[in-house]
Amino acid sequence: MTVPLLDLRAQLAPLRDEILTAVTEVIDSTTYIMGPKVEALERHVAEYCGVEHAIGVSSGTDALLLALMALNVGPGDVVLTTPYTFFATMGSILRLGATPLFVDIDPVSYNMDPQQAEAVLAAHPEAAAKLKAIMPVHLYGQCADMAPLLRMAAGYGVPVIEDAAQAIGAVCPLAEGGKTVWQRAGAMGTAGCFSFFPSKNLGGIGDGGMIVTNDAALAEKMRILRVHGSAPKYYHRLIGGNFRLDPLQAVVLDIKLPHLPTWHQARRDNAGRYQRLFTEAGLLATGVVTLPHAVYGEAARRDGVADHHIYNQFVIRVEARDELIQHLHSSGIGAEIYYPVPLHQQECVASLGYGGLSFPAAERAAQETLALPIYPELTEAMQQEVVAAIAAFYRGR
Ligand SMILES: *Cc1c(COP(=O)(O)O)cnc(C)c1O
């Protein structure tokens, strides 16, 4: 049996007729740019996330770029972020002429370590003085430790932009007046950025993204920047770009959005099943395999909250990672590395002197981790196959 890393066909099948009808309607309407379908999706995503405003954009990357542009991030500014994420997090900062200041990750959650964030700013007072924003990433579908990061941002008087590209719907515990309040990814910072890349938990039939915010003035500015900075049409107060989401994507995403809670739950069920299967296979006790840790799992169970982790990826840490991947691929099992090269070691920033930087937790994660299939339609038999293949690999060593 082959087990793909992701099977979009399995998700499409039950929705296909509904999607074809909606797409046909858009085509027949001849409204191909913006319009009521995009506005409807924006309303529904805002409601789902518990925020006031949502701005549909052309991709997750453009969501990050537009949020930074609207907050006037530019040359001379510093943005605090993580070196262990998809390239777009750093790319959006660099494209505006600003400088990323990296904070190493927590090796358990793979998210920005708040204690080290404080330490990095304390150790670099000249950079801290230029700090313009903090951009944590909710990697793999689990929120970064937001409470201390939000406190730190408030202390420095800078906004937080959440890179929530992998985490739409994920919740995070924040303490408010002595009790825990769970908030959704994107709703905690000044702005939250989502991606609708097809492999994300909410994926379109092409590129798409969304920014959410509770700041009405910022939302208005982002809407203007989305259309070249023009308001009214052909009068430009600002220099924006073409960052629009198109209605074809909007109708597909609007059909999928109500299914997200079920899909998130199915991914968590699959994660639970991996936990049992890996335990039964004896792979955890020996320490050759470490499964992802749901940091907020216990608190969520206590509070009766569901989406503490939405497992956009199920990332395990293993011995002999590269040989294991070879073995899995030759056994017909999908596995990927997210991400093989930490951002400070990317060739495009070598000339900026980042090569001399050291982030041991990010560098180790890049060498020791791989993602296994976790998509909602994955069957128990497929998961057994995955675990059996991994067990066979370590037995043979
Ligand atoms: C997918 C992703 C992006 C970029 O989203 P696109 O829609 O592909 O442009 C940004 N950041 C992270 C963490 C992502 O996973």
Measured in Å, residue 1 CA sits from the centre of ligand 1 at 31
What was the pLDDT predicted at 328? 98
Its pTM surpasses 0.85: yes
**For residue 52, what pLDDT is reported?**
98
Q: Atom 6 of ligand 1 has which residue's CA nearest to it?
A: 60
pLDDT at 296: 98
3-state secondary structure of 305: coil
Give percent above pLDDT 90 in the chain: 96
Task: Tell me, in angstroms, the distance from the centre of ligand 1 to residue 323's CA.
Answer: 28
Total residue count of the chain as it appears in this document: 397
Say how many Å lie between the CA of residue 194 and the centre of ligand 1: 8
Task: Identify the architecture of domain 8-258 in CATH.
Answer: 3-Layer(aba) Sandwich (3.40)
Domain map of the chain by residue range?
8-258, 259-395
For the stretch 313-364, pLDDT in tens is 999 999 999 999 999 999 999 999 999 999 999 999 999 888 789 999 999 9
What confidence tens digit (pLDDT) does each residue in 294-310 have?
999 999 999 999 999 99
> Atom of ligand 1 at shortest distance to CA of 62?
9
Q: CB-based contacts of 187: which residues, under 8 Å, 6+ apart?
A: 49, 50, 51, 212, 214
Å from CA of 93 to ligand 1 middle: 14
Q: What is the Å distance from ligand 1's center to 86 Cα?
A: 6
Going from the Cα of 155 to the center of ligand 1, the distance in angstroms, rounded, reads 28
State the CATH architecture for 259-395. Alpha-Beta Complex (3.90)
Is the pLDDT confidence value at 178 over 90?
A: no
Q: Provide the pLDDT for residue 354.
A: 87
Pick the residue whose CA is nearest to atom 7 on ligand 1: 60
> What pLDDT score does 36 carry?
98
* Residue 260, φ and ψ in degrees, nearest 5: -55, -50
Q: Collect all residues with Cβ–Cβ distance below 8 Å to 383 and sequence separation of at least 6.
A: 270, 273, 274, 277, 373
What is the overall mean pLDDT for the chain?
A: 97
Atom of ligand 1 nearest to the CA of 196: 7
Distance CA 397, CA 395 (A): 6
pLDDT at 355: 78
Q: Is the per-residue pLDDT at 386 higher than 90?
A: yes
Residue of minimum CA distance from atom 2 in ligand 1: 165
The preferred substitution site among 58, 82, 86, 244 for testing ligand 1, maximizing ligand atoms within 8 Å of CB, is 86
pLDDT of 175 higher than 90 = no
Q: What local confidence, expressed as pLDDT, does residue 397 receive? A: 86
Give the model confidence (pLDDT) of 29-71 as tens digits: 999 999 999 999 999 999 999 999 999 999 999 999 999 999 9
